[in-house]
């Protein structure tokens, strides 16, 4: 178990974070995925740069299924997701780091399942959407590098690529959302279907619309400038490195049995043939 790579899905991974960086293309039933391999804190990692190497791929155009499949096929069992996000909760401020424990899906057009085209019904449990074993590891690592870490919170995932309106932010507040971002769903859902552990480390880089004079992604005074030149990205990478180093060898959670009790029908040929079926879930 010690040799399996830890997965990381992120917007950018610096050379300070990743040693021995190499690119590999993984063919999947959903198309190919570009994966960066290397080592973080001495451990093997497989990294998805979700917006592409040049950060030009918006959230709604990401090939989520290929990315998750590729990580699984490389032997990944745990995925750390880095999500630079906005706050919709006034007590959560830019500069904070949130380790979410729940999410709201406000996406509209994205693939919902790895099993969409198959004669089966997969209905995984989402009582604990984020891995309960990974979350405290991430929170402890983040606390070493950040003055304010919020170790729970509801991540509202919106479709994008535009930002939310003030009315939408108010609606998310009423619905219990704490932070808002665009790529979490369906990554977290597909990871559960693939029986992967998945947890998010979310640096806050702005307030939502209506909570600040404007929301600007690129350029002077933008959230990207705040994140990448203000030191927050460096602190998040250090937290990720510490979390990778501290990740226990054995999984004590239920993420690896997510299909047990959640699968009904004919097992797809690809599920039987590929590494996704190394630990079959319960049958019909
Ligand atoms: Zn888990």
Percent of the chain with pLDDT over 70: 94
Distance 134 CA to ligand 1 centre (A): 6
| Burial class, 161, CB count within 10 angstroms (exposed 0-12 / middle 13-18 / buried 19+) | exposed
pLDDT at 131: 98
| pLDDT at residue 34 tops 80 | yes
Query: Distance from the CA of 190 to the center of ligand 1, in angstroms?
Result: 14
Task: Determine the distance separating the centroid of ligand 1 and the alpha carbon of 152, expressed in angstroms.
Answer: 16
| Ligand 1 centroid from CA 59, angstroms | 25
Q: Does position 238 have pLDDT exceeding 90, yes or no?
A: yes
**Band of pLDDT at residue 275, cut at 50, 70 and 90:** low
Q: Return mean pLDDT, the chain.
A: 91
Rounded to the nearest angstrom, the distance between the alpha carbon of 235 and the centre of ligand 1 is 24
State yes or no: pLDDT of 150 exceeds 60.
Answer: yes
Decide: 185 and 111 in contact? Cβ < 8 Å.
Answer: no
Cα–ligand 1 centroid distance for 77 (angstroms): 8
Question: From CA 69, how far away is CA 190, in angstroms rounded?
Answer: 9
Determine the distance separating the centroid of ligand 1 and the alpha carbon of 130, expressed in angstroms.
7
CA of 273 from ligand 1 middle (Å) equals 24
Q: How far is the CA of 28 from the centre of ligand 1 (A)?
A: 23
pLDDT at 284: 31
Query: What is the 142 CA–ligand 1 centroid distance (Å)?
Result: 19
Q: Which domains does the chain have, with CATH numbers?
A: 6-277 (3.40.50.1580)
| 227: pLDDT strictly greater than 60 | yes
Cα 197 to ligand 1 centroid, rounded to whole Å: 4
Ligand 1 mean position to 47 CA, how many Å? 18
Tokens of 101: 């424990």
CA 241/CA 170 separation, integer angstroms: 35
E-strand spans in the chain? 6-10, 19-28, 31-40, 43-49, 78-82, 85-87, 97-98, 102-106, 120-122, 149-150, 154-158, 179-181, 197-207, 263-265
Does residue 283 have a pLDDT over 80?
A: no
C-alpha 217 to ligand 1 mean position (Å) = 33
Higher pLDDT, 230 or 275: 230
Q: What is the dihedral of CA 223, 227, 230, 236, to 10 degrees?
A: 160
Q: pLDDT-based confidence at 222, cuts 50/70/90?
A: confident
Task: Quote the CA–CA distance of 156 and 174 in Å, as a whole number.
Answer: 12
- Residue 171 Cα to ligand 1 midpoint, Å, equals 31
Dihedral sign from CA coordinates of 241, 221, 93, 155: negative
- What does pTM read for this prediction? 0.93
Q: Separation of 76 CA from ligand 1 center, angstroms?
A: 12
Examine the pLDDT at 82 and tell me if it is beyond 60: yes
- Place 266 in a pLDDT band, splitting at 50, 70 and 90: confident
Distance 255 CA to ligand 1 centre (A): 4
Of 76-90, 97-111, 253-267, minimum mean pLDDT range: 253-267
Question: pLDDT-derived band of residue 105, with 50, 70 and 90 as boundaries?
Answer: very high
What is the whole-number distance in angstroms between the Cα of residue 239 and the centre of ligand 1? 19
Average pLDDT on 131-136 reads 98
Categorize the per-residue pLDDT at 251 as very low, low, confident or very high, splitting at 50, 70 and 90: very high
**pLDDT exceeds 80 at position 2:** no
31 alpha carbon – ligand 1 mean position (Å): 26
How many whole angstroms from 226 Cα to the centroid of ligand 1? Answer: 32
For 86, 180, 182, 206, the CA distances from 160, given in Å and listed in that order, are 13, 11, 6, 16
pLDDT on residue 226 = 82
In this structure, how many other beta carbons lie within 10 angstroms of the beta carbon of residue 217? 12
Å from CA of 56 to ligand 1 middle: 31
Q: At what angle do helices 232-246 and 134-143 cross, to 10 degrees?
A: 130
Enter the tokens of residue 116: 């969409």
The answer to whether residue 265 scores a pLDDT higher than 90 is no
């Amino acid at each position: 178990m010690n040799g399996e790579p830890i997965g990381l899905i992120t917007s950018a991974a610096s050379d300070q974070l990743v040693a021995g960086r190499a690119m590999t293309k993984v063919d999947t039933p959903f198309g190919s995925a570009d994966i960066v391999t290397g080592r973080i804190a001495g451990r093997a990692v497989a990294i998805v740069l979700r917006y592409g190497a040049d950060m030009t791929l918006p959230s709604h155009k990401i090939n989520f299924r290929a990315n998750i499949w590729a990580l699984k096929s490389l032997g990944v069992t745990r995925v750390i997701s880095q999500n630079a996000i906005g706050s919709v909760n006034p007590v959560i401020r830019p500069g904070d780091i949130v380790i979410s424990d729940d999410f709201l899906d406000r996406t509209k057009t994205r693939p919902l399942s790895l099993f969409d085209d198959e004669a089966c019904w997969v209905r995984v449990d989402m009582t604990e959407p984020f891995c309960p074993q990974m979350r405290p590891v991430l929170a402890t690592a983040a606390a070493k590098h950040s003055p304010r870490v919020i170790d729970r919170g509801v991540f509202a995932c919106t479709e994008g690529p535009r930002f939310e309106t003030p009315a939408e932010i108010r609606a998310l507040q009423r619905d219990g959302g704490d932070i808002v971002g665009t790529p979490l769903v369906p990554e977290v859902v597909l990871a559960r279907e693939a029986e992967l552990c998945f947890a998010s480390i979310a640096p806050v880089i702005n307030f939502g619309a209506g909570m600040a004079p404007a929301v600007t992604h690129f350029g002077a005074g933008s959230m990207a400038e705040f994140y990448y030149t203000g030191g927050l990205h460096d602190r998040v990478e250090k937290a990720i490195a510490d979390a990778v180093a501290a990740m226990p060898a054995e999984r004590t959670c239920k993420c690896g049995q997510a299909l047990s009790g959640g699968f009904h029908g004919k097992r797809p040929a690809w599920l039987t043939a590929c590494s996704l079926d190394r630990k079959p879930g319960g049958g019909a």
